[in-house]
Amino acid sequence: MQFAGIFHKTSEQMSYALNENELIVNLRTGYDVRRVFIHYGDPFESGILGGNEKWTGKREEICFKKRLRHQLWWTTTLVPKYKRCKYYFELHTEEEVWYYFEDGFLTEEQMQMDGRMLQCFTVPWMNPADINVTPDWVNETVWYQIFPDRFCRGADTKEEAGVTKWRTGTVTNEERFGGNLNGIREKIPYLEGLGITGIYLNPIMKAESNHKYDTTDYTVIDPHFGTEEEFKDLVEEAHQHGIRIMVDAVFNHCGRKFAPWLDVLEKKEKSAYADWFMIHDWETVEKRADTRDGRFYSFAFTDGMPKLNTNNEEVIQYFCKICEDWIRKFDIDGIRFDVGNEVSHRFLKKIREHLKQMKPDLYLLGEIWHDASQWLLGDEYDSVMNYPLMSGIHDFFLDRGMEKEEFEYMVNRCYTMYMQQSNNVMFNLLDSHDTQRLMSRFDDLDLFYQQLAVLFTMPGSACIYYGTEIAMEGGFDPDCRRCMPWQELDSSENQEKIQIMQKLIAMRKQEAACKSLYFHFPNEYEKRRLVEYIKLDQDGNQLEVLLNCSEESVSVKEEGEVLFSRRFEQGVLKKNGTLIRRKK
């Protein structure tokens, strides 16, 4: 047996309460393990711990497994009657049987030895207060990300000095185009027509730049975008159309004109805000240059974005109050935390507890580009932006040498990193204001829609970046932040693209299997780059997704009801073709 490939612990995503009744238990093994059984029961079933009674437990086979690149991931759901559970595993290869306990592996003979103190895995208590609870509505949501300055300028907006004329094509970070809150509000009927049910807004609080990630005043809507009343009107109208609103919170750092930072520059160590930041050299703190010299910490090395000390209690309370006001004044539905992996865990725990008491179904989303397990234990974020999935999808379409199994391993990795509660509300995206636009990566509409087919059939919630509905192009930042070409939307080409997006979104909303956590890869076809997976809803209905990523056409079985297709005719899925259908 390959002992080095076997791992389990009673924490994080390997053993956790799904709800007050169900306990999820996951085990990782090598491919040599063919069958797994779990022996489980109440820790006190045979008496108190330390007594002379022999504990046995109930034996059940674990049947569900996912394939990772080098390992298998086994999953079972237990229902402990008394909210406690004690267990160990029975592992079978072709020739061996071993028993896996907290302290290692035993043979049958060793396990049955009189007097041996078997160190079982133990979940002592499924305390309701410790269960990771995420807002159910997020799984039903299709998000639309808006970069406010470039989305739409309201019809009644007055001409203003310093505002660049709206145009298509490339842009710079220095240009301001005048998109505003009224412009967004005027387009709510358009977004509703697309099928959008959630808007994620890049920062709208007062700041110097057009991107607004250098906040000057967290208590004021940026005058370039509008007023408090206009934002209230936007949220209220969005809610009337069944659309939720999520705002961007830039709490890792501020802008150079944030009042506490100005006070620090003036008074140095004597400032009341001296500990609000992370300053190491007071003599050179005013110097304008990147911060590689370590005089103070900042976002990246940008001296105009000094890093806030989110360990400081005053900073924590300040931002708790800021978020509280956003909820009370505007009735927002979610908060996305910029640079969400650099603010302190202490800060996040306190702000979550404070805000969830106000609005229990508030969605707390972290911007984290890597494995975010330590932030998703139920006491900080509800979810994170699923950049690992985005990267994995991109790399598979980029690297034609990768076979379909690599796609399976990638998806399974992404959905075995976290608890099911978090997976259910994962923020899935294919591009954003921080990345090259999806269409510009391959400049191929067929590949573009293949990737969107994956986005709309994965667990979690799907987000499209403004303009994706017309396959808008754009390179890396700042080119990904082009102006929305409203004057071009009526063209027959763009109307066709909009209709395709409407169809994908409608399928996502109508088919429970699209949003479901349950999927597997049957690999019925021998083609090395014909991706195939089955999504299942809780009633057992099946949805089949086929993506022909190979160089030649593939004949597929003619069965089920076609919900979405591209380059599919008479049972033949052509090169770069997509097929999504209900299974009979």
Catalytic residues: 338, 367
Q: Annotate 95-106 with DSSP letters as a single string.
A: S-EEEEETTEEE
Number of residues in the chain: 584
Distance CA(282)–CA(305), nearest Å, equals: 17
User: Could you give the angle at the alpha carbon of 519 between the alpha carbons of 61 and 543, nearest 5°?
Assistant: 130
Distance CA(368)–CA(384), nearest Å, equals: 6
Q: Annotate 137-189 with DSSP letters as a single string.
A: GGGG-EEEEE-HHHH---TTPPP-TTPPPP-SS---TT------HHHHHHTHH
Secondary structure class of 543 (helix, strand, coil): strand
Distance CA(184)–CA(207), nearest Å, equals: 19
**According to the 3-state scheme, what is the secondary structure of 338-349?**
CCCCCCCHHHHH
Query: Which among 477, 457, 480 has a CA at the least distance from the CA of 468?
Result: 480
Are 386 and 405 contacting, i.e. CB atoms less than 8 angstroms apart? no
Distance CA(73)–CA(30), nearest Å, equals: 9
Cβ atoms within 10 Å of 503's Cβ, excluding its own: 14
Cis omega before residue 478 (within 30°)?
Answer: yes
Backbone angles phi, psi at 170, to 5 degrees: -65, 155
Question: What are the structure tokens assigned to 145, written together?
Answer: 């990300």
Q: What is the CA radius of gyration of the chain?
A: 26
Distance CA(320)–CA(318), nearest Å, equals: 6
Distance CA(548)–CA(521), nearest Å, equals: 15
Q: Please give the C-alpha separations between residue 440 and each of 437, 447, 471, in angstroms, as whole numbers.
A: 5, 11, 9
**Distance between the two ends of the chain, CA-based, in angstroms?**
40
Which helix (H) or strand (E) element contains residue 559? none
Residue whose structure tokens are 């089955």:
534
Are 312 and 275 contacting, i.e. CB atoms less than 8 angstroms apart? yes
User: Could you give the angle at the alpha carbon of 265 between the alpha carbons of 259 and 268, nearest 5°?
Assistant: 120
Question: What are the structure tokens assigned to 470, written together?
Answer: 């017309």
Sign of CA dihedral 559, 564, 570, 573: negative
